[in-house]
Amino acid sequence: PAKVIDGKLVAKQVREEIAVEVTRMKDAIGIVPGLAVILVGSRKDSQTYVRNKKKACEAVGIKSYEVNLPEDSSEEEVIKHIASFNSDPSVHGILVQLPLPRHMNDENILNAVSIEKDVDGFHPLNIGRLAMQGRDPFFVPCTPKGCMELLHRFGVEIKGKRAVVIGRSNIVGMPAALLLQKANATVSIVHSQTKNPEEITRQADIVIAAVGVANLVRGNWIKPGAAIIDVGINPVDDPESPRGYRLVGDVCYEEASKVAGAITPVPGGVGPMTIAMLLSNTLESAKRTHKFK
């Protein structure tokens, strides 16, 4: 059976390492990393995400700043707040919680974030640098960065290996494919229009699945011994659970864990890594700004 890639455990280790570094920096130069979070509207799920991010900051000693704007705010108002965080030296990371209200243009808003404080890594210039040979972005998007961190920490060799990324979204699939390529894997991207996805996936030594379809990837899609990173978080009905549902990944865990060499569970795999990488990006930004090694 496959080795379980325990993201919850790794995320805890990463958070502990960050806490140590935050203290070391504060003691040495008196600087505390700061993260600003902008939330527009009152979506319950977004409020929960923002609350969790704030709590995670506090736990490692990162200062958090929050702005809540009403649903009917204008783009200009949001951009005004971004601009003020851009010029605030106590803020090293700025994050605009997505999705934004329908009347706003995501690109206009994300473009307003200084690329040097873009800890989500969603600014087109950061994505562009991620795609270029010999260049590095200021920040790598948190979820794909978390996937790579799991592969590294579990000793999965990437160089020269075949990797398949299922899904090509701007926040997960596309940057994950770029990162694997930068790490010298040979990468294929499987998406909604791909013919014979199972045949292509079966060639992969490394699979990253970020689709949003419960149990799409079956055991017979997987090459024996492959490393599987399952990003999907999908609710499925479960009358036995108190909430009436439970969460499963894009990969059928029961089948895949019999074939794969290593696999992330859902929940407890990639999920906990995302916030840990946000903290890591914020610390990295503060260190870079203050030239602290």
Contact criterion met (CB below 8 Å) for 263 and 5: yes
Q: How far is residue 292's CA from residue 46's CA, in Å, rounded to a whole number?
A: 33
Residue 215 makes contact with ligand NAD by CB under 6 A: no
What six digits make up the tokens of 175?
A: 């940057």
Binding ligand NAD (rule: CB under 6 A), the pick from 100, 227, 231, 252 is 231
Binding ligand NAD (rule: CB under 6 A), the pick from 14, 110, 113, 171 is 171
What six digits make up the tokens of 129?
A: 């640098």
Is 133 labeled as catalytic in the residue annotation? no
State the DSSP code for 251: B
Residue 141 makes contact with ligand NAD by CB under 6 A: no
Sign of torsion, CA 182 187 193 198? negative
What six digits make up the tokens of 121?
A: 């890594």
Sign of torsion, CA 213 215 218 224? positive
Say which of 117, 118, 120, 145 is annotated catalytic. 120
Binding ligand NAD (rule: CB under 6 A), the pick from 120, 221, 271, 285 is 271
Minimum Å gap between C-beta 168 and ligand NAD is 4
3-class DSSP assignment, residue 231: coil
Number of residues located near ligand NAD, criterion CB under 6 A: 24
Is 53 labeled as catalytic in the residue annotation? yes
Minimum Å gap between C-beta 170 and ligand NAD is 7
Binding ligand NAD (rule: CB under 6 A), the pick from 98, 213, 289, 290 is 213
Is 181 labeled as catalytic in the residue annotation? no
Contact criterion met (CB below 8 Å) for 293 and 29: no
Which range, of 29-37, 43-51, 103-111, 227-235, touches ligand NAD by CB under 6 A?
227-235
b/e 180-197 (16+ beta carbons within 10 angstroms → b): bbbbebebbbbeeebeeb
**131 or 233: CB nearest ligand NAD:** 233
Active site residues: 53, 97, 120
Binding positions for ligand NAD, rule: CB under 6 A: 143, 166-169, 171-173, 190-192, 197, 210-213, 216, 231-234, 270-271, 274
